[in-house]
Amino acid sequence: MLRSCFLFFVTIIFIQNIFTQPAPINRKQFFLGDSVINVQLTANIKKLKNDKTKIVWLPAHIVMNFADTLVIDENIRIEPRGSYRKEHCDLASLMLDFNTNTSPQLSDLKKLKLVGGCHDNYSSEELLLREYLIYKIYNILSPMSFRVRLLHITYSDSLQKMKPYTQYAFLIEDMKDVAARNNCKEVKNKIFNAEQTDRHQITFVSVFQYMIGNTDWSVPNYHNVKLMVPLTDTFAKPFPVPYDFDYCGVVNAPYATPSEYLDLKNVRDRYYMGYERTMEELQLSINVFKEKQEMIMKYINDFYLLSHTDRKDVEIYLEQFFDKLKNESLIRYTFITNAVNK
């Protein structure tokens, strides 16, 4: 009898433990959230700053505080990434590896890129928020886009050799998930020029890059562009998916300069890098921008984490683009007559 009672209580406790254990984070749901996640990231920050060029995984402790009061406290791995930021920033961008034995709740996130401020100051944080805003704008315009999740991170040195500091940063969705959402798979290690990609989508991407004032991208070099093809037709022309916008006019980072091969004074000067199209083809893309204009401008205006001055600057810069779309002559001149690739 006593043995039966003992086994009964052990079973009850076991069942309770199963149901009270927090569910693992689902990476697809994770990037659907829009609330800011407060994060404490503890690692050898001094080593990360001093040895930015070395690709070495370092242990890190992460605490994630979600808006619904969920708190996850686990150990992960991090490593520096990003060639420019490794050389010029105080702290390089990071790759976060959640897929470890010590992070059961976060393991489904696998490896994600973290984009943080170049320096520990207000200006770098504003630039970071501007770039985050561009990802969100492109989410409004196209499902073939990277989702992002905003974090408010306190970086703490595990050896306490540096003072902690707090700054906004964001995680970028993995390309495999972008492709899966669009019933596609990623293409790698195959050389395509822009005209060998899906004609409508490369036109759309080119107009978008013009809108934000970005010339820092290239299809043949896979530079700030990923490619994917439909699962149902892997011989189809690939769809381009743009990312990494810190060199664009909307962000207007002090370190960003136009290519020496372009006759541009600064990155605020727009330059259309697309191929010549008919007016009918262009209109298919332009109609989407017109339809989404109000939603885009509202999102910018409501993005209170960015200062009023910065929001106004972004609005004015994009309004110049939308005003051009109201004039058919300007559309022809910009995207047909002055198309770089004819």
Contacts of 240 (CB under 8 A, 6+ apart): 194, 197, 198, 201, 202, 205, 219, 225, 226, 227
Enumerate residues 6+ apart whose C-beta is below 8 A from 299: 133, 136, 137, 140
> What is the distance between the alpha carbons of residues 330 and 276, in angstroms, rounded to a whole number?
14
Examine residue 249 and state whether it is found in any structural domain, yes or no: yes
Q: Are residues 200 and 317 in the same domain?
A: yes
The closest of 107, 103, 125 to 115, measured between CA atoms, is 125
CATH, residue 328: 1.10.1070
Helices (H) and strands (E) in the chain, counts: 10, 10
Residue 323 φ then ψ, to 5°: -65, -35
Whole-model pTM: value is 0.91
Give residue 20's pLDDT: 45
pLDDT in tens, 157-209: 999 888 999 999 999 999 999 999 999 999 998 999 999 999 999 999 999 99
Cβ within 8 Å of residue 5, ≥6 positions away: none
Q: Is 212 helix (H, G, I), strand (E, B) or coil?
A: helix
- 192 and 77 in a common domain: no
Residue 280 located in a structural domain: yes
Give the side-chain half-sphere CA count within 13 A for 170.
Answer: 26
Which segment of 65-69, 141-145, 310-314 scores lowest on mean pLDDT?
65-69
CA distance linking residue 239 with residue 183, whole number of Å: 12
Given pLDDT bands bounded at 50, 70 and 90, which one contains residue 1?
A: low
Q: Are residues 110 and 228 in the same domain?
A: no
Question: In this structure, are 129 and 237 located in the same domain?
Answer: no
Residues 207 and 137 in one domain: no
For residues 194 and 333, membership in a common domain is answered with: yes
Q: Assign 3-state DSSP to the chain and report helix, strand, coil percentages, each to 5.
A: 40, 20, 40
Domain boundary, last residue among 173, 192, 213: 173
Model confidence band, residue 22 (pLDDT cutoffs 50, 70, 90): low
- Residue 72 falls inside a structural domain: yes
Asked, for residue 16, whether it belongs to a domain, the answer is: no
Q: Which domain holds residue 194?
A: 183-337
Structure confidence by residue, pLDDT tens digits, 23-71: 789 999 999 989 999 999 999 988 888 776 667 899 999 999 998 788 9
Residue 27 lies in a domain: yes
Q: Are residues 157 and 200 located together in one domain of the fold?
A: no
- Whether 270 and 151 share a structural domain: no
Are 250 and 128 contained in the same domain?
A: no
Phi, psi angle pair for 156, to nearest 5°: -125, 135
* Local structure of residue 337 (DSSP, 8 states): I
| Exposed/middle/buried for residue 95 (C-beta within 10 Å: 0-12, 13-18, 19+) | middle
Same domain as 124, residue 240: no
Q: Is residue 63 part of a domain?
A: yes
Hey, what are 38's tokens? 């407060």
Question: If 0-12 CB within 10 Å is exposed, 13-18 middle and 19+ buried, where does residue 162 land?
Answer: middle
Which one of 139, 173, 207 terminates a domain? Answer: 173
Structural domain includes residue 37: yes
Count the residues in the chain: 342
User: From CA 27, how far away is CA 7, in angstroms rounded?
Assistant: 38
State how far the Cα of 222 lies from the Cα of 193, in Å rounded to an integer: 10
Please tell me whether residues 232 and 93 are part of one structural domain.
no
Same domain, 150 and 244: no
The total number of structural domains that make up the chain? 2
Angle, in degrees to the nearest 10, between helices 122-141 and 279-302 = 130
Establish if 2 belongs to a structural domain: no
Task: From 151, 173, 195, give the residue that closes a domain.
Answer: 173
